[in-house]
Amino acid sequence: MKFIERLNKLLPPKKGARITLFVLIIAAVIASIFVGKFVSNFVASMTIVDLPGKPVARPTKQTEPDSEDNNQNPSKPVATLPSSNVDLPDPWDGTSRVNMLFMGLDYRDWEAGDIPRTDTMILFSFDPIGNTASMISIPRDLWVSIPGFDYEKINTAYFLGESWKIPGGGPGLAIKTVEQLLGVPIQYYLQLDFYAFVSFIDHIDGVKIDVPQEIDVVLMGTNEIETLYPGRVVLPGDIALAYARARYTEGGDFDRAQRQQQIIMGVINRITEFKMVPTLIANADKLYADLSAGINTNLSLNDGIRLGLRVLDIPKENIKNTVISGSYVTLEKSPEGLDILRPVPDKIRLLRDEFFSSGAAVGPVSVAKDLIELVKMENAAVGIYNGSSVTGLAEKTADYLRSKGLNIVEVANSEYSIYSQVTLKGSKPYTLKYLFDTMTISSNRVFNRYDPASEIDLVLILGDDWANNNPMP
């Protein structure tokens, strides 16, 4: 690539300086994606009620850790552990969608010298064909199935990967976990520690943000409290980090995710508005000394520069960002009594499709625009059970829905029910949407009981409400 060859000639001869430019480009990639307006989807107002009980987990045939002095006592993995070649991704071809997982580690673990959990997880996606970019912030208390393990908070995936020396380590298992949650492939990861963050902010002379409301933040490693008041301010590195890490506001971790987006958007604005790249290149040796130990990634220098330059060309209106917020989870307790956020899989997959649907699609279900075409592509296995007082209603309904393209795999009777209801066993959001709309099922009669081992994705029980009012001939 001629541009990269010319760019390398501008740099000091030391390898460290070249890597520093790579770090700056990565910062540009991250910051460029932190703009856009939150876009909701049709299920934002749909209340999906979880059935009682612990999520279904796979059998846990256990193995022992490599040494007996591991006092972390992590959950024990199954015999067959996931494989992740995150250290050697294929070179980017310049046209395929790129997904990158950004991770910040938990300061409390880091300070204590323990194997850390992730404090921040953000998935970035860049579509070079559609010239669009998206970002999804993932809350750390999300209760998910971690590949090779049982259900845990998603922030433990990195810890478990490191503790059990999984191929690919902590980044590899974190990637596999997010891939399973969102159903998208992830090629790259970027891990940043706190000192690198603070140092980089200080190198660009602070970050300018608009503080929306008064907030107290605690400086890292101290008990010193800094009060920020509403208005536009320029924050040095230590206060910017404290602002990004602050949790104790009304929205908790959801608010914090928005502040993280705000800070990183401020970084890119600072660099571009003040045309700081030449100055940063001139100080490359010092930047490398300050930052290199705090950044871990599997993105090559060449791909990092190419991605950074392409992302910087994206119009702001083509960039979207969101948070997996309270609309996409239910607040529950784990079997151990921990506060957890239990995901509603269908809502999260719909959010994913809305934010990852332009250009090179995530999957075939993201291509078609017509709902019934999406339903056909999804091919959910639906079981229909007659709980109404009308004999033969399940068979008639099955024939009707088959004529619309639905995959009805089982028809039977059930106990009497006045009202129709749907129970989710698999993540099939478009079929759920179709049934919800077609049958006008009440939102409080849509239940989430995700079971990856189930052969039926949606269980539909017909009530007298459907028997008395339906569009069937």
Q: Are 2-365 and 371-468 the same fold in CATH?
A: no
The confidence score (pLDDT) of residue 3 equals 42
Positive or negative, the CA dihedral 232, 273, 29, 298 is: negative
* 0.85 exceeded by pTM: no
Instruction: Quote the percentage of the chain above a pLDDT of 90.
Output: 27
Q: Is 348:327 a contact under the CB 8 Å cutoff? A: no
The confidence score (pLDDT) of residue 401 equals 96
Cα 299 off chain centre by: 19
CATH (residue range 371-468): 3.30.70.2390
- From 206-215, 279-288, 300-309, 399-408, the region with the lowest mean pLDDT: 279-288
The confidence score (pLDDT) of residue 54 equals 35
Q: Which residue has the higher pLDDT, 140 or 287?
A: 140
CATH (residue range 2-365): 3.40.630.190
For residue 86, what are the CA distances in angstroms to 176, 180, 299? 10, 16, 9
Identify the band that residue 111 occupies on the pLDDT scale cut at 50, 70 and 90: low
- From 26-30, 186-190, 206-210, 248-252, the region with the lowest mean pLDDT: 26-30
For residue 165, what are the CA distances in angstroms to 100, 180, 342? 22, 20, 27
Cα 132 off chain centre by: 17
Question: Which amino acid, 428?
Answer: K
Strands 381-386 and 407-413: parallel
Is the pLDDT reported for residue 375 higher than 50? yes
For residue 54, what are the CA distances in angstroms to 61, 74, 96, 234? 19, 19, 39, 46
204: tokens are: 């660009």
Cα separation, 407 vs 382, in Å, equals 6
The confidence score (pLDDT) of residue 189 equals 92
Question: Which amino acid, 218?
Answer: V
In the chain, where are the structural domains located?
Answer: 2-365, 371-468
Cα separation, 225 vs 231, in Å, equals 18
pLDDT digits (tens, 9 = 90+) for 296-322: 888 877 777 777 767 767 776 787 888
Cα separation, 28 vs 9, in Å, equals 21
Is the pLDDT reported for residue 371 higher than 70? yes
The confidence score (pLDDT) of residue 427 equals 67
The confidence score (pLDDT) of residue 47 equals 40
Q: Is 86:191 a contact under the CB 8 Å cutoff? A: no
Identify the band that residue 357 occupies on the pLDDT scale cut at 50, 70 and 90: low
Q: Is 414:387 a contact under the CB 8 Å cutoff? A: yes
Q: Is 89:187 a contact under the CB 8 Å cutoff? A: yes
Cα separation, 70 vs 55, in Å, equals 28
